[in-house]
Structure 1
């Protein structure tokens, strides 16, 4: 991933680092800029944007979070759609959560780009309750980490 300032002419495919209010339209942080967005930026007089361009071996933050969350799914648990680099694992039935702390610690030790949090071991779980969350801190993570 390359993070920095990009001239608008070169910004197609860049993930915005900050929300930009263009008056009639707002381009939110995390949006991948397309041709129409570039035209709006130019129309608003914006020459440069700050963001991230994914490399060939990168997964965007949502894909990375979903891939890691899928590793945590077990009986009576499920993931939901990732958003803003976060993917939650929910209970699909009432029960008692068992947490493999060594596994969670190992995931957290992989790289500072990855953060995994869970409820405590033996926590009572109810359907739809969030049991764990995976967060990818930057806009992308390398495939080899996942």
Structure 2
């Protein structure tokens, strides 16, 4: 009989300990997830927040797909998107968007392209567009899509 009480006590103590750990771990104030795709802009009370540029870096090797530092971002109208090659990438890269409901040019306007492969767009109207980043200007089987939502 004494052994049964001892087991019950151990089970009860273990259950209470697990309950305390679960409840103690869930009561913290650090439960807000951070979305790395949405840039944050510091603001001062009383002053409007200024929009910051969003910079996406692209890179690829001899046989792999294009890799983007982010491939699904959100911009505000008037905000700039800058696409730039990774350090050391000197190959020719083509950017393409075909017509249809996700035509990049309907929502973002190209501002400038530099010989370094850096290209700048400005968000001009709300919507969602897709831009293909194509390595070596013609290897579409290795391309990656960049989705941009303009709010």
Report the TM-score when normalising by structure 1: 0.30
Report the TM-score when normalising by structure 2: 0.30
Radius of gyration: which is bigger? 2
